Amino acid sequence: MTHTATFLGIPPFPIAAKEALADSQLRGNMHLATHTIRTKRARVAAELDDWEQLRVAGAAIKDDVMANMGRYLEQLEESLTAAGATVHWARDAAEANQTVIDIARRHAVDEVVKVKSMATGEIGLNTALEQAGISVWETDLAELIVQLGDDLPSHILVPAIHRNRSEVREIFLREMGKVGMPAEPNLSDEPAELAGAARLHLREKFLRAKVAVSGANFMVAETGTLVVVESEGNGRMCLTLPEVLISVVGIEKIVPTWAGLEVFLQLLPRSATGERMNPYTSTWTGVTPGDGPQEVHVILLDNARTTVLADEVGRQALRCIRCSACLNVCPVYERVGGHAYGSIYPGPIGAILTPMLKGVGTSTSTDALPFASSLCGACYEVCPVRINIPEVLVHLREQVVDSHRGGVPGTLLTTMKGASWLLGGGWRLGLLQKAAGLSTRVLWKQGVIGRMPRPLSRWTDARDIPAPPKESFRAWWARTDGGRKKVVGSPHGTPRNGTDQK
Amino acid sequence: MNAREEILRRVKAAQVTPTGHPIRRDYARTRDLPDPVGLFVERVEDYEATVIRTDPGGVAVAVAKSLAGARRVVVPAGFNTSWLPEDIDVVRDEPPLSAADLDQVEAVVTGAVVGVAVTGTIVLDHTEGQGRRALTLVPDLHVCVITAEQIVGDVPEAVQRLTPCVKRGRPLTWISGPSATVDIELIRVHGVHGPRTLRVVLVDSPTS
């Protein structure tokens, strides 16, 4: 099937966000979804009295991986090879995609089944395979909904979160028959029935598949063991039934020892779906004679991870275990949904990971992402590996500003220069405050200032500013001698606390 | 420079200095549970899987009950035959059944290697009595017999007990309830691709 949906061409965040905010159905779906998962997560995290110690250990294990990445990669390669797997290295997306295509061609297949994987989404594997004439069947229910609807994922864990049941039913009825077993014409929109339709549709594909493609949640350097954490069993199908298994895994997915999984297999399911444990976790170590794929490939993917690694502040993003807890608590994500981020990685983690992977200063879309946050810090609080996302956001904002320095000074710089002149002298500020008190009353509605003319509209389009009071603190002080002079019949009264001093 | 050398060179060039702190493992490596077996039952049932608890003498009856009328049942080599009811049509995986053949059997009965109380998880290492991975995946009903001695407290104890299996290269399947999805409107639905029904038979030790 042709898969044409792409994040390319999605407008920068502020514009995409505005469109998303106008979609009340989307906002309703997102509100319900994010609040449901965040409540479940909070409940199961609170069940473990050592949750904080687990978070600290999780972060420390990942930091150790980063500090010794080269050694662990070589160790992993050695243990994988000893276990009968073939190890490939891919500097970038094109190299990884070509490796998958070459393996598929060697087996003369025209289709592969696929386990949901962020890494393969990041490198655009589906498009590359289809261009090479190889059909790709996404087997995760949500990924199937996204693929059949020629749509884009909007959440790391539940990528079709923006679709409701009747939309899913329509997509299944319309599209399933074009690519395989059609859905029953009397299919209802009950989630259980829709899942049943996916089971039937995909079963024939699972049973005949020769080659499967997966990612992995973890790779154990010590033993060469790969781990896939899932719910539906589509992962098990792909990892077990085909003859050939190709796993594309980011180099940061390493866990040094098997014992280290005792931390992550507690942190991940509780943070992701809010369950004590996800229905299925599969681990495999190369080839097991007589059980599962007898040809196992692992593609170790860089694709700018080493650039992130070189960024002292930003590298903590490589701890990420893709649980999406940060999405579910983010006030921005909750309101705009995933598509506005224009990346396979949405939400707070996407706002730091995408610019670092794609490069700051390379596009306006990417550069807008570090600003798509109120810096409230909820993401940091829930992150199971303690990624200080607000810290990285601020760090990247700096980089974005720096990357646009030189040439004509921008609005920001001009404004700051002006502000420095104004604030530099008391009389200038006083004059401004007086002017502001008068002029903004024109723009004032219900105590806030709405849209202001350009270039100030760049600020006010996304924010409301409290209107300044009628009298400034400075003016009040001068008039009343700091409140000591009793002024009879004052037209203004005493200024309210705190609002005047700006 | 090939991809391997290039990536390793980039990693080296990133110059990550170790934090110098040792990894603190002051989280619970074991959990002190008053009744791990009872908790295991409770937690498995939380996933809407059923559990029948029995003494060793009652296993065959409990398995029969769990099969709920399924006749064609795959039983892996090495499974304790005294645990099987008599009135079933046992399908053997020797020579290995094709995926399509497996799709035609109604149920599978296996043992397990570890049970995790806190998370209600069953782990298979696919050795004797558990069969290769496909056996517990394709049929729609999985009846799993686990003994009380196999149950540990929480994930760290399970990971530790499974270390020798992993070091021998065994694949593992951790099963927590039947196959499920929340992909449509976050409503939990059982049974997408794995067995839609999971029934656990828990065998208490003769002394307890």
B103 interaction partners in chain A (CB closer than 8 Å): 203, 207
Tell me the per-residue pLDDT of B149-166, one tens digit each, with 9 for 90 and over. 999 999 999 999 999 999
Using the beta-carbon criterion (under 8 Å), do A196 and B191 form an inter-chain contact? yes
ipTM above 0.95, yes or no: yes
pLDDT at residue B79 above 90?
yes
H helix intervals, A209-279: 234-240, 261-272
Contacts of B179 (CB under 8 A, 6+ apart): A231, A232, A233, A279, A280, B190, B191, B192, B193, B194, B195, B196
pLDDT at residue A302 above 80?
yes
Residue in chain B lying closest to A69 (CA):
B11
A61 interaction partners in chain B (CB closer than 8 Å): 23
Using the beta-carbon criterion (under 8 Å), do A279 and B176 form an inter-chain contact? yes
**pLDDT band at A438, cuts 50/70/90?**
low
Using the beta-carbon criterion (under 8 Å), do B191 and A73 form an inter-chain contact? no
CB distance B122 to B158 below 8 Å: no
**pLDDT band at B46, cuts 50/70/90?**
very high
**What Cα–Cα distance (Å) separates residue A494 from each residue in A448, A473, B61?**
20, 9, 85
State the pLDDT at residue A498. Answer: 43
pTM, rounded to two decimals? 0.89
State the pLDDT at residue A122. Answer: 97
Beta strand extents in A308-461 (DSSP E only): 444-445, 448-449
Name the minimum distance, in Å, from the CA of A104 to any CA of chain B. 20
Residue A247 dihedral angles phi and psi, to the nearest 5°: -115, 125
- Tokens for A257, please give them: 């020892």
Using the beta-carbon criterion (under 8 Å), do A194 and B166 form an inter-chain contact? no
Sheet holding A211-214, edge to edge: A86-90, A295-301, A244-250, A211-214, A111-114, A135-138
Using the beta-carbon criterion (under 8 Å), do A310 and B13 form an inter-chain contact? yes
Q: What is the dihedral of CA B66, B137, B83, B78, to 10 degrees?
A: 180
Nearest Cα to Cα of residue A163 among B191, B179, B193, B187: B187
Name the minimum distance, in Å, from the CA of B57 to any CA of chain A. 30
Average the pLDDT over A343-363 and give the result.
95
Using the beta-carbon criterion (under 8 Å), do A266 and B159 form an inter-chain contact? no
Amino acid at B200: V
B13 interaction partners in chain A (CB closer than 8 Å): 306, 310
**pLDDT band at B19, cuts 50/70/90?**
confident
B14 interaction partners in chain A (CB closer than 8 Å): 69, 306, 309-310, 315
CB distance B60 to B84 below 8 Å: yes
In total, the C-beta contacts within 8 angstroms joining chain A to chain B are 252
Tell me the per-residue pLDDT of B95-140, one tens digit each, with 9 for 90 and over. 999 999 999 999 999 999 999 999 999 999 999 999 999 999 999 9
Q: Which of A55, A199, A222 to mutate to test the interface with B (most CBs of B within 10 A)?
A: A199
A283 interaction partners in chain B (CB closer than 8 Å): 166, 171-172, 174
